[in-house]
Chain A
Amino acid sequence: MMGTWPVINTIAKRELSAYFESPVAYVFLVVFLLLAGFFTFSLGGFFELGEASLNSFFTWMPWLFLFLVPAVGMRLWSEERRLGTIELLLTMPVTTWQAIIAKFLASWAFLAIALALTFPVVITVNWLGDPDNGVIIAGYVGSWLLAGTFLSIACLTSALTRNQVIAFILSLMLCLLLILVGFAPVTTMLSRFADIWLVDTIASFSVLTHFEGFQKGVLDTRDLLFFFSVMAFSLFTTGVVLRSHRAG
């Protein structure tokens, strides 16, 4: 059997270039960039805030990813399941895990490209004033990790069903849950019914709570650990699901 990394590398590269052969990827990029720009400048009040920062840009990231990342992830495994190509894939000298990681990395790289294409807004804000670029870098790192987290969940749901739409809805709901348990209006409401320590604990499961540090410009190992934990769990479970299908 070939070494793990070269195998993953090969598959990932193939997946990534496959993205750009389909019009879907371009549609996704165009929609993502349009919405990101629109949210930042119109809804986010970029100029109205009067501050040279990308706060209005990063505030919208979780919500933007909520809808767009499941759309990227939904086809990862459900397509293969529907076409029946999973068996083909898994008969090759490739372990389930290698395939999962390869596909995940390819999609994560695609999301990284999408994020990178928002560079005009960074140039703009630096030209208009003197923003804190450290905060901006941290924000991008956090956004990329957030995207990876949502993507891993989308991987899981797409492995659970043949139907892409169901995969999409399922991952949307799970990601939404992860956002809401740390969303201020929700936590305030919950704290009326439940003990504070409980609400606190629940909020610590939220991506918003752990994205906050990045928005402020701080890389905290607790936040990194959280994001990687969710990714690890989702990808492991994806493996379990795929193996069970394979066995069955």
Chain B
Amino acid sequence: MKRYETLIYSTVGVVALLIILVLANFVLAAFKQRVDFTEGGLYTVSQGTRSIIEKLDAPVKIRFYYTQSEQNVPLPIKGFARRVEDLLGAFKSASGGKVVIEKLDPQPDSDAEDSATLEGVEAQVMQSGDKFYLGLSISYADQKLALPALSMDREQLLEYDLARAIARATRTDKPVIGVMSPMPLFGSRGIPQMGVPPADKQVLVSELERDFTVRRVAADATSIDDSIKVLLVVNPRGMSDETEYALDQYVVRGGKMIAMLDPYAYFDVPPGAQQGGTTSTFDHMLKAWGLTMDTTKVVQDMKFLSGAGARQMSTVLSFNSEAFNKDDVSTSKLGFTMFPIVGAFTGTPAAGLKQTVLIRSSTFSQLTDSSNAVTQGEASVRGFKPSGTEYPIAIRLSGKFKSAFPDGVPVAKDKPAAKPPAKAAGKADAKAEPVKPIPAHVAEGKDENSVVLIADSDFINDGAAVNIQEIFGQRIVVPANSNLSFAQALIEQFAGDPALIELRTRAIAARPFTVIREMEAQAAQAYVGKLKELEDSLQKTQERLQSLQKSSMPGAGTILTAEQQKEVEAFRKNAAETRRELKLVRRDLRADSEALQFWTKVVNIGLLPLLVALFGIGLGMQRRRKVVTI
């Protein structure tokens, strides 16, 4: 009897424990704590967010709209929604009560749904046709904004999006950013008659409009208004002296300019042209500042090249942290960036100006003619000789700027007016700067100022910087790299909210195998010369062969002399040899890197098991010997 009682008691005990543990797990989930071990603190609220939250004078109310009880929401989205809630919780605890979170479930036809619509939170539509809500609205005092549709693809930027929304909601003024470019960055309807396709508004412009007042500056402006805090000049092709004077004076008066010049603007297809590749530079200003950017040359870099094999492009540069300035806020924590076809700044800054290089090429680089800009594969690297120079691609000049036009306003020369493509794009005039009288000439800046110069305008283009996807009926923009982060960091550095800079660049971090990449770069560099030699020799041999055969067949049926036949044979043999050598060299190119991968695998898979086995056998033998001697 006792036996049975004990047994029942114990079984009951087991079941009871099970129930207790299950309940404990569910209940204690509310008191969860997390420790974030990631190097970037990817899952905790960063210092930047904290500093934004600390500046709050009044509470910020965040309404989290999530259709929790919707049956058909895919499980990964549910997991994502959980993580969003986790992050909101982290914001709340970092704020000490200043951030208040309210959670709502917008069921169809409920008050919550009406509230969502009112506040700008949008439904996301699934394939089944059902819709769900996953968005936020942020209110502070009388300001209200929304993150209408949160997407998993942007999960890494969630903290940034949220912190930025809070910063925006609490900001009383929005600095003015001017954008000057002949390219249709603001979007355009296009001109079908002239074969100009319509263009979408560039993502960079849309992103800037969320934080700043963005004003369009005419590409032929003759003066820049001082209310513009930061001026972005993008590929100012065909710029007149008058306009360059306007920029010069803007800088001398203390305006902050970020200029993107380009020896080969891949994405700039002027009306009537078939393809891109325009150039832009500052004729006067660069010279006055002691610098040059050769508009006929682009940078080829064997370390930072993109693509592989036949699709390899050594002029499209994928920069990783080794190319960036580690000490500057705008570049210190950048992930990787992609700059398609860039120039380089050479020269020494003029007296009184200091140059800080933000992005530079590797020493395995050279300047090549811009006609070589879009060649792919081996053909593009024939004759490559590393310059040993780290070419500055993006720089900041600081100091007291002197006007590049010592004689004042340039007299309008009788040049054929370059058609301002801003007008051709259609929408320009409505938003362009109204013509103002030119202010008095200033010869030298009173205070220290800074200018950022970048030898590429393509990197901010949608084609290089983002991937745009349609998910659940929403247009989701996902950064493909840190390009936009970099541009925005520069702008914000000048416009003044440093906290957001740290946040943004944290989010995107690629960690490649740098050792392998370097190996391949070095190998390519070592073999490129040999390859060229062999290919040249092969070509010559083939030409000689052809000419021999031609010369010996002026008409049909002519027979070669014995000597000529011998020559032809010799040449054929030579050609075959050379081709074989070429194959070997191409194979050797990858040999080092492949050997590394092979031996890494061998060591990692086999070494320790082997050691353990040997140790075990050794121990076993030792023991046996002991037993025997006893």
Which of chain A's residues 161-208 have a Cβ closer than 8 Å to chain B? 184, 187-188, 191, 195-197, 199-200, 203-204
Contact B73–A120 (Cβ < 8 Å): no
B3 touching A247 by the CB < 8 A rule? yes
Q: Determine if B21 is an interface residue (Cβ-Cβ < 8 Å).
A: yes
Minimal Cβ-Cβ distance residue in B for A47: B597
A240: chain B residues at CB < 8 Å are: 10-11, 13-14
A235–B73 alpha-carbon span in the complex (Å): 38
- A217 to B514, Cβ gap below 8 A? no
**Does B604 lie within 8 Å of A41, measured CB to CB?**
yes
| Given known A26-B616, A52-B512, A129-B511, contact A117–B25 (CB-CB < 8 A) | no
Q: How far is the CA of A25 from the CA of B515 in the complex (A)?
A: 36
**Closest CB of chain A to B271's CB: distance in Å?**
41
| Chain B stretch 1-40: residues in CB contact (< 8 A) with chain A | 3, 6-7, 10-11, 13-14, 17-18, 21-22, 24-25, 28-29, 31-40
Q: Are A30 and B613 in contact (CB under 8 A)?
A: yes
Q: Tell me if A121 is interfacial: C-beta within 8 Å of chain B.
A: yes
Determine whether B606 belongs to the interface, using a CB cutoff of 8 Å to chain A. yes
**What number of B residues sit within 8 Å (CB to CB) of A?**
59
Q: In whole Å, how far is B267's beta carbon from the nearest beta carbon of chain A?
A: 27
**How near does chain A come to B453, taking the closest CB pair, in angstroms?**
30
Q: Total A-B residue pairs with C-beta atoms closer than 8 Å?
A: 172
Distance (whole angstroms) from the CB of B294 to the closest CB of chain A = 34
User: At the interface, is chain B mostly helix, strand, loop or mixed?
Assistant: helix
Q: Is the CB of B511 within 8 A of A130?
A: yes
Q: Name the interface residues of B537-590: CB closer than 8 Å to any CB of A.
A: none
A191 to B: closest C-beta gap in Å = 7
Does A29 belong to the interface (CB within 8 Å)?
Answer: yes
- Alpha-carbon gap, A233 to B36, bound state (A): 28
Does residue A236 face the partner (Cβ distance < 8 Å to B)? yes
Q: Does A40 contact B (CB under 8 A)?
A: yes
Q: Measured between alpha carbons, how far is A33 from B611 in the docked complex, in Å?
A: 11
Known contacts A21-B623, A128-B513, A130-B514; A121 and B25 CB within 8 A of each other: no
Give the residues in chain A near B78, CB-CB below 8 Å.
Answer: 196, 200
Contact with A along B586-614 (1 / 0, CB 8 A): 00000000000100110111111100110
- Interface residue from A120, A128, A232 paired with B608 (Cβ < 8 Å): A120
A196 contacts B72, C-beta separation under 8 Å: yes
Classify the secondary structure of A's interface with B. helix
B604: chain A residues within 8 A (beta carbon): 37, 40-41, 120-121, 124
B80 contacts the other chain (CB 8 A): no
Residue pair A217, B73 in contact (C-beta under 8 Å): no
Residues 219-236 of A contacting B (Cβ, < 8 Å): 219-222, 225-226, 229, 232-233, 236
The answer for the CA separation of A191 and B78 in the assembled complex, in Å, is 13
B window 41-70: CB within 8 A of A: 42-43, 69-70
For the complex formed, measure the closest distance between the CB of A199 and the CB atoms of chain B, giving whole angstroms. 7
Q: Given the complex of chains A and B, what is the CA–CA distance between A248 and B601 in angstroms?
A: 54
Give complex CA distance A227, B296 in Å.
64
Q: Find out whether the CB atom of A34 lies under 8 angstroms from the CB atom of B37.
A: no
**Which chain B residue shows the least CB distance to A141?**
B37
Contacts of B513 in A (CB 8 A): 47, 50-52, 128-129
| Chain A residues closer than 8 Å to B97, beta-carbon distance | none
Cα of A102 to Cα of B603 in the assembled complex, Å? 35
Q: Tell me the complex Cα distance, A38–B604, Å.
A: 9
CA distance A226 to B513 in the complex (A): 36
Whether A229 touches B24, Cβ cut-off 8 Å, given contacts A132-B38, A236-B14, is yes
- The distance from the CB of A47 to the nearest CB of chain B, in whole angstroms, is 5
In the complex formed, the residue of B with least CB distance to A212 is B79
Whether the Cβ atoms of B3 and A20 lie closer than 8 Å is: no
Interface centre among A25, A29, A118, A195 (most CB of B within 10 A): A29
Asked if A117 and B608 sit within 8 Å, CB to CB, the answer is yes
Q: How far is the CA of A118 from the CA of B613 in the complex (A)?
A: 15
Contact of B511 among A33, A53, A121, A248 (CB under 8 A): A53
Q: Chain A residues near B31: list those with CB within 8 A.
A: 221
- B39 adjacent to A218 (CB under 8 Å): no
Q: Is the CB of A117 within 8 A of B17?
A: no
| A window 111-147: CB within 8 A of B | 117-118, 120-121, 124, 127-135, 137-138
Chain A, Cβ-Cβ closest to B611: A117
**B residues 491-535 touching A (CB-CB < 8 Å):** 510-516
B468 contacts partner chain A, Cβ-Cβ < 8 Å:
no
> Does the CB pair B607–A120 fall under 8 Å?
yes
The verdict on A23 contacting chain B, using a C-beta distance below 8 Å, is yes
The residue that B512 contacts in the complex, of A23, A34, A129, with Cβ under 8 A, is A129
Known: A135-B39, A216-B38, A221-B34. 14 other contacts (CB 8 A): A37-B605, A128-B513, A129-B512, A129-B515, A131-B511, A132-B38, A134-B39, A188-B75, A199-B75, A221-B28, A222-B29, A240-B13, A244-B6, A247-B6
Write 5 A-B pairs (CB below 8 A) sorted by A numbering: A34-B606, A117-B608, A219-B34, A219-B37, A221-B34
